[in-house]
Structure 1
Amino acid sequence: MADITITVANVLRVDGTTGTGTAGATITAGQPLYADSTDSGKLKLADADAAASADSVGVALHGSLTGQPVKYQASGQITIGGTVVVGEVYCVSTTAGGVAPDADVIAGDYRTILGVGTSATVITLKLFTSGAQIP
């Protein structure tokens, strides 16, 4: 399977907790974010290539440019803006800002679970950063 194809206009918080921060990169709605400790905690696109960048704080709820405020969802239900499979576990992708099915996270990647598909368009976010690189 491939990363979810996200239509940014369709990303919507259903319920759950949110947070805000300052964008450290150009961000679009539906992209997982991490707080870069080497750049004053600015929010950047999460990816599974390194432990630090895989440590997602949530999913962007709107677009933002570098240096501008960005709101993200950290838990609860989110209409992700693409088609998901009910019961499928979704993770931070190796593509920066991508959301991938768990099976696509492979050897050498750092697994961070974002949540589980609970309808054809909704993921229930329950972030879990393992910090572990898959052997």
Structure 2
Amino acid sequence: MSDISITATSVVAGAGARVEHGTAGTTITAGQWVYKDAATGRYLLADSNSATAAARVPRGIALNGGANGQPVAIALSGPVTIGGTLTAGVGYYLSDTPGGTCPVADVGSGEYATFLGMATSTTVLNIDIQASGVAL
């Protein structure tokens, strides 16, 4: 398998999703996982095998796209239609592709396992981020 293919225009927070707003520190597309850089306070792309420890722990998923310096909305938890095809009941993890989402079966050697959430349908991911801090 590979990363979930996401249609950015279909990413929508569901009822009860917790959302915060901030500023992009790089080009971000809706549906990509981001972390908040401590030095700049801006959002950057999360990556499960990054050399930067903070990048391996996403804060949430971008609900809109933006270039460096533009405003972004980030879903931190709760239901989000992620604009891709999921398998209900499967756990999804941070990918080694910056900002990407992959099923548990695709988490590989050298990656830090970070659970993003459980698919509650073929389109909705219930975000509940849990970083293991452990490389496989």
Give TM-score scaled by structure 2 length. Answer: 0.93
1:41 Cα offset (Å): 2.5
- Letter aligned with residue 52 of structure 1: A
Aligned to 1:70: 72
Distance 1:59 1:46 in 2: 10
Residue aligned with 2:59, SS: strand
Distance 1:20 1:109 in 2: 28
Aligned to 1:21: 22
Aligned to 2:88: 86
Distance 1:2 1:88 in 2: 14
Aligned to 1:119: 121
Give TM-score scaled by structure 1 length. Answer: 0.94
Aligned-CA RMSD value = 1.0
Residue by residue, what CA displacement relative to the aligned partner does 1:1-26 show, whole Å, maximum 9, x if unpaired?
Answer: 11110011111111310112211110
- Letter aligned with residue 7 of structure 1: T
1:36 Cα offset (Å): 1.9
Distance 1:35 1:58 in 2: 9
Residue by residue, what CA displacement relative to the aligned partner does 1:71-130 show, whole Å, maximum 9, x if unpaired?
Answer: 110111000001000011111100001111111111110111110111010000001111
Aligned to 1:48: 48
2:133 equivalent to 1:110: no
Stretches of 4+ moved more than 2 A in 1?
A: none
Aligned to 2:103: 101
Residue aligned with 1:9, SS: helix
Distance 2:20 2:131 in 1: 17
Unaligned runs of 5+ in 2: none
Aligned to 1:4: 4
- Letter aligned with residue 104 of structure 1: D
